[in-house]
Amino acid sequence: MCKHSKNSITRRQWLAASGTALGAMAAGPLNAFAPPASSVSIAKCAGYSEVTARLAGQFDQIGGIGSLVRGKTVAMKLNLTGDGRYPGYNQGQTYWVHESVVGALCHLFGQAGARRIRVLEGTYEGESVEDKMLDAGWNVKAIRNAAPLVEFEQTNTLGSGKRYSRLKVPKPYIFPAFDLNHSYEDTDVFVSVAKLKQHEECGLTLSIKNMFGITPDSIYGGDAGIDEPNEKCRRGREEILHAGKRQPSKSAPGEIDPSSNRYEGYRVPHIIVDLAAARPIDLAIIDGVETVTGGEGPWVQGSKYVRPGVMVVGRNPVSTDAVAAAVMGFNPRAKRGEGPFHVRKTHPDIPNDPLWADNAMLLAEAVGLGSADLNRIEVAGVPIKDAVFDFEAARKGKLS
């Protein structure tokens, strides 16, 4: 993987575009040294029955996907985090990406000529991705039949691979490289399929934050092996990645500086940018048709169901996340401690918890992964000002 400078095209061929974002909100001044930005499409979507048509139109608006996927292996990392339900709603309506989005993407990639499609996610109980979906009531058969060759891979362990793939970070913050399931290397096109949500520790969880889940628990989980991966792991990444209480398995690269800031509002945003640099995102899909406000799942007190009715799509994850943040009513260039990066959760192991999170979009911009400046992003489809759904107002019950 070649290195790149802060003002160069990134390692993948992201669509370059100039111009001013329609309806740009509260953006900082134009930075002449910022990385190139990509076109980002916003679509209004009243329900999941419309998703295939909306995504097809959005792909056209960002330049098409035929040349991107034709004859290639396409890997999609889904956001199927956690367990539990909000009363009256299923997971896909609230904090997971919806099964209709996954099926639509498989269909459209297959229609565009993808040779193979891999559906990727980690599971915490050792079950397969298909079983996790079936437990949630998904029609796995329909997803499998949406394209000629659809595979599923559980990536919290070796899965079907024989070894882990080591992917290096060109300009690292925390980790110089990561050991990952082979599926993240053994692909031509990588797609982050995320949910439009806030996050209790990071402020927002969009296409870049979705990368946190590509790290295998066998190496980065609380019960990871000290020397070697634990293929029977059952614990999440809080101990190693969130809090930095120990290093990953010695088989994988450790942190550059184990004495650096241990606060998760610092660590997690920096780690997800390292991950997005190690495994570049070729296409970012953000499902905001139905979701939640106030947190990333039912375990977050005060989080609740909302219906923004939007889909956001782009080739550059930084620009796509910036537009998505603006659609949520936030300034994508907000600094730590500014909304939405003023965290409401205190950590029991951190005295005088500062209650802030770093803005991962600005961290990613600083290492050349893309632009978070709305003045540099061409917005296609619905203008931002016409798509805004104020997440904070909804969280506080101030939306009619």
Statement: residue 146 has pLDDT above 90? yes
Cis status of the peptide bond prior to 340, with omega within 30 of 0 = yes
Spatial distance between the Cα atoms of 209 and 273, rounded to a whole number of angstroms: 8
Q: Residues with Cβ < 8 Å from 394, sequence gap 6 or more?
A: 293, 304, 306
Statement: residue 7 has pLDDT above 50? no
Q: Taking the CB of residue 260, how many other CB atoms lie within 10 A of it?
A: 14
pTM for this predicted structure:
0.90
Lowest mean pLDDT among 86-100, 135-149, 385-399: 385-399
- Confidence band (pLDDT; 50, 70, 90) for 125? confident
Statement: residue 14 has pLDDT above 50? no
What are the residue boundaries of the structural domains of the chain, listed by start? 40-395
Which amino acid does the sequence have at 324? A
pLDDT in tens, 257-269: 999 999 999 999 9
Mapped to the 3 state alphabet, what secondary structure does 183-235 carry? HHCCCCEEEEEEECEEECCCEEECCCHHHHHHCCHHHHCCCCCCCCCCCCCCC
Kindly state the average pLDDT of the residues 90-113: 98
pLDDT in tens, 285-325: 999 999 999 999 999 999 999 999 999 999 999 999 999 99
